């Protein structure tokens, strides 16, 4: 296919924000580019309204379900700007012969950095200290040292490994579970491998780095939380759907857990009545883990290159499925 005849839809709200060459390069190579101007991920209906006539789609966190894809009359590729494809109906894309790609590893370092930052904020009560001082107080808050504590990682893939590497210098004990654990990496970085139950039972800080699958959806429920170590902290920078919010809130309110730090939520943004919003023991960030210049640029170039590769009839570097 001649790129100069192609139209491409680009919906990630941060695409090209820290590297203008991403937009300039794409606009120079194809006939027309349509951008998402809403400032947020698109609904199924919104995607459906934009897909007619599009040959390529660099996609953010939009709802790309069967009804949306029914409107795709020319689409050859959906290049996800990110790793997760749980919002994409892969059965429907296969039926319509639409290639799907993603950007594995592009945001691993940025997500790992935020994860470590949240762990430190929980341990040292950084947010509480800032709020107290802004209110005119001078509290002598006592925190926790990571030295000698156990940090549990559920998931030792690309992001989990980056978290482990960054925590090595804190002289904490690293305990991890992964369905296909990299034993060589674990040995090299002093990570002890264990079952999911054992990791949850022994971790002072339990960090989630699991994909969203049928078997992991709502994994962190009441039963799971009861199996966690008393006074532990939960950190989630993976997928909001892994956690049952009401169960987590109850575990914190009844004193079983000391707190949590969450960058992702089942519904984004969370609804006003979400009980986690009202708990001072919970640190909340608005899904910013991948919002760094490094991650955005890496995701942008990977998605752009794979989108153009498919449109040129070439094999993408990061196909899904």
Asked if 97 and 135 sit in the same domain, the reply is no
Query: Model confidence over 156-176: pLDDT tens digits?
Result: 999 999 999 999 999 999 999
Tell me the C-alpha distance between 126 and 145, whole Å: 13
pLDDT of residue 83: 86
For the record, the structure tokens of 92 come out as: 């429907």
Asked if 100 and 180 sit in the same domain, the reply is no
Q: State the helix-helix crossing angle for 108-124 and 158-167, rounded to 10 degrees.
A: 50
pLDDT of residue 257: 98
Q: What is the mean pLDDT of residues 98-103?
A: 98
List strands edge to edge, sheet with 32-35: 32-35, 7-10, 56-59, 77-80, 99-101
204, 145 contact by CB (below 8 A): no
Residue 318 lies inside a defined structural domain of this protein? no
Asked if 211 and 278 sit in the same domain, the reply is yes
Tell me the C-alpha distance between 239 and 266, whole Å: 8
79: left (phi over 0), alpha (psi -120 to 50) or beta: beta
pLDDT confidence tier of residue 315, bands split at 50, 70 and 90: very high
Helices (H) and strands (E) in the chain, counts: 12, 12
pTM value? 0.86
Asked if 113 and 97 sit in the same domain, the reply is no
Asked if 75 and 7 sit in the same domain, the reply is yes
Q: Where in the sequence numbering do the catalytic residues fall?
A: 239, 268, 287
Residue 231 lies inside a defined structural domain of this protein? yes
Place of tokens 């490094």: 294
Q: How many distinct structural domains can be found in the chain?
A: 2
Helix residue ranges per DSSP H, the chain: 21-29, 44-50, 66-69, 90-95, 108-124, 126-134, 158-167, 183-188, 196-202, 222-226, 245-253, 293-311
Asked if 99 and 117 sit in the same domain, the reply is no
Residues with Cβ < 8 Å from 55, sequence gap 6 or more?
A: 1, 5, 6, 7, 8, 30, 74, 75, 76, 77, 311
- The boundaries of the domain holding residue 135 are 108-284
Asked if 86 and 157 sit in the same domain, the reply is no
pLDDT confidence tier of residue 223, bands split at 50, 70 and 90: very high
Q: Is the pLDDT of residue 50 over 80?
A: yes
């Amino acid at each position: 296919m001649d790129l100069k005849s192609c139209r491409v839809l680009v919906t990630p709200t941060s695409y090209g924000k820290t590297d203008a060459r991403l937009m300039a390069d794409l606009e120079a190579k194809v006939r027309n580019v349509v951008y998402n101007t809403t400032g947020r991920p698109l609904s199924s209906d919104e995607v459906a309204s934009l897909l007619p006539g599009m040959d390529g789609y660099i996609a953010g966190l939009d709802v790309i379900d069967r009804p949306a894809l029914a409107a795709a009359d020319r689409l050859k590729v959906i290049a996800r700007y990110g790793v997760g494809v749980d919002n994409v109906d892969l059965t429907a894309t296969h039926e319509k012969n639409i290639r799907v790609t993603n950007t594995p590893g592009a945001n691993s370092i940025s997500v790992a950095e935020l994860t470590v930052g949240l762990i430190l904020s929980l341990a040292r009560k950084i947010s509480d200290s800032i709020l107290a001082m802004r209110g005119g107080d001078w509290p002598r808050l006592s925190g926790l040292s990571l030295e000698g504590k156990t940090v549990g990682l559920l998931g030792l893939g690309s992001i989990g490994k980056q978290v482990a590497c960054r925590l090595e210098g804190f002289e904490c004990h690293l305990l991890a579970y992964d369905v296909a654990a990299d034993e060589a990496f674990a040995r090299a970085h002093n990570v002890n491998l264990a079952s999911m139950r054992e990791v949850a039972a022994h971790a002072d800080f339990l960090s989630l780095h699991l994909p969203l699958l049928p078997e992991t959806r709502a994994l962190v429920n009441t039963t799971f939380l009861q199996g966690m170590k008393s006074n532990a902290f939960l950190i989630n920078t993976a997928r909001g759907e892994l956690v049952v919010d009401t169960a987590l809130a109850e575990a914190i309110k009844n004193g079983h857990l000391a707190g949590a730090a969450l960058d992702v939520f089942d519904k984004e943004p969370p609804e006003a009545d979400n009980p986690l919003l009202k708990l001072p023991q919970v640190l909340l960030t608005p899904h910013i883990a991948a919002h760094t210049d490094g991650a955005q640029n890496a995701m942008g170039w990977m998605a752009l290159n794979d989108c153009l590769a498919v449109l040129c009839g070439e094999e993408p570097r990061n196909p899904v499925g």
